[in-house]
Amino acid sequence: MVKKVSLKDIALKIGVSTALVSYVLSGNEEKGRVGKETAEKIRQVAKELNYQPNHIAKSLKTGKTNTIGLIVADISNPFFASIARAVEDESGKYGLTTIIGSSDESPEKLKNLVEVFIKRQVDGFIISPPDHSEETIEYIISLGIPICLIDRHFDHVKSSYVVTDNKESMQKAVSHLLGMGYKNLAFIAYNSTLQHMKDREQGFLDATSEIYSQVYKINFSKQHDELASTIEVILNEQKADAIVFATNTLSVAGLKYLTQHKVKIPQDLNVMCFDFSEVYDFFYHPIIHVKQPIEQLAKESVTILFNQMKEEHLQQLVLNSELITKTRVMV
């Protein structure tokens, strides 16, 4: 391992103090009132020796690590993977490094991850919180650590967040379905107290006040079985003409179930999905879905967090989503 060049090496070589070198290289010449020639010389030698500042020493002194913690439900879920990718790219632009964790929708796991990340002294958090994790979020806030929630938030927790306009998106999307002539809708969502889930449900209810519809909620932990039995009920008892799925996992799992049970979409039953999935491209007919602005969500969350790390102000952002009714054209 080659020995690292430190401020001291530069200082020694030129014959000045490390203080001067620090002033110049951290861009505080005026503050240190460094002479022009000396400054030039320092910069030159620094380049010559290929000086790389030691992040860790800097962190120890300044208390800032320039690292942020991103915690999502599951990084192997394409939705969150896309968020992670965009957060990673965006935070890089600000000189921030991102460490990632998956909560598996468990408040306990979230708490553990948060503790690990705090020990690592992250400067801020971007979190897509699981159900019943208010305490941990409030704990972070109480420590004065900047945080920006993403995709989900708690109405009664005072924090920054970036979310989609879930209620309006859902309402518009379902209205579109009604406009197509469907009259007996089923809505499948997770059993959750999270605001985004409640909003999506409300959007569905607002849009379906004049027709027959049913809302089904399934538990995240037993979703496989419950989804299957729910769809059975919808097909055999409710005899709905379209199903609205509230999330991307539900959408994909639902489509899979329908496909494997030879239910033709949209002939036998139509669907309305939330979030984009690659699998939509494998249907001959377009899968109507609400496309959240994932990249924008991620980028804005980084920006909001970054601002919050400098100044002390919260920001809430609600972004519009897009209703996709046609298959992308294959060029």
Partner DNA sequence: ACAATTAGCTTAATCGATTAAAGCAAATTT
Partner DNA sequence: AAATTTGCTTTAATCGATTAAGCTAATTGT
- Return the one option of DNA, a copy of itself, none that residue 144 interacts with (CB less than 5 to 8 A, by type): a copy of itself
Closest CA to 186 of 172, 168, 174, 197: 174
Angle, to 10 degrees, between the axis of helix 7-14 and the axis of helix 36-48?
120
Radius of gyration of the chain (CA): 26
By CB under 8 A, residue 166 contacts a copy of itself: no
H-helix or E-strand spanning residue 19: helix 18-25
Q: How far is the CB of 171 from DNA (least distance, A)?
A: 50
Q: CA-to-CA distance for 90 and 79, rounded, in angstroms?
A: 17
DSSP 227-275: HHHHHHHIIIII--SEEEESSHHHHHHHHHHHHHTT--TTTT-EEEEES
Q: How far is the CB of 67 from DNA (least distance, A)?
A: 16
Q: CA-to-CA distance for 232 and 234, rounded, in angstroms?
A: 5
- Return the one option of a copy of itself, DNA, none that residue 8 interacts with (CB less than 5 to 8 A, by type): DNA
Q: How far is the CB of 162 from a copy of itself (least distance, A)?
A: 18
- Return the one option of a copy of itself, DNA, none that residue 235 interacts with (CB less than 5 to 8 A, by type): none
Q: How far is the CB of 1 from a copy of itself (least distance, A)?
A: 4
- Return the one option of a copy of itself, DNA, none that residue 36 interacts with (CB less than 5 to 8 A, by type): DNA
- For residue 11, what are the contacts with CB-CB under 8 A and spacing of at least 6? 17, 18, 20, 21
Q: How far is the CB of 24 from DNA (least distance, A)?
A: 9
What is the three-class DSSP state of 2? Answer: coil
Please report, in angstroms and rounded to a whole number, the separation of the first and last CA atoms in the chain: 51
For residue 316, list its beta bridge partners.
161
For residue 270, list its beta bridge partners.
242
Residue with Cβ nearer a copy of itself (97 or 191): 97
Residue with Cβ nearer a copy of itself (137 or 207): 137
Residue with Cβ nearer a copy of itself (87 or 185): 87
- The region of 10-18, 73-81, 162-170, 308-316 touching a copy of itself under the rule CB under 8 A is 73-81
For residue 269, list its beta bridge partners.
none
By CB under 8 A, residue 267 contacts a copy of itself: no
- Return the one option of a copy of itself, DNA, none that residue 28 interacts with (CB less than 5 to 8 A, by type): DNA
By CB under 8 A, residue 281 contacts a copy of itself: yes
User: What's the longest Cα–Cα distance across the chain?
Assistant: 87
Residues near a copy of itself (CB under 8 A): 1-2, 52-57, 59-60, 65, 74-78, 81-82, 84-85, 88-89, 92, 97-102, 116, 118-121, 143-145, 224-225, 252, 255-257, 259-260, 278-279, 281-284, 330-331
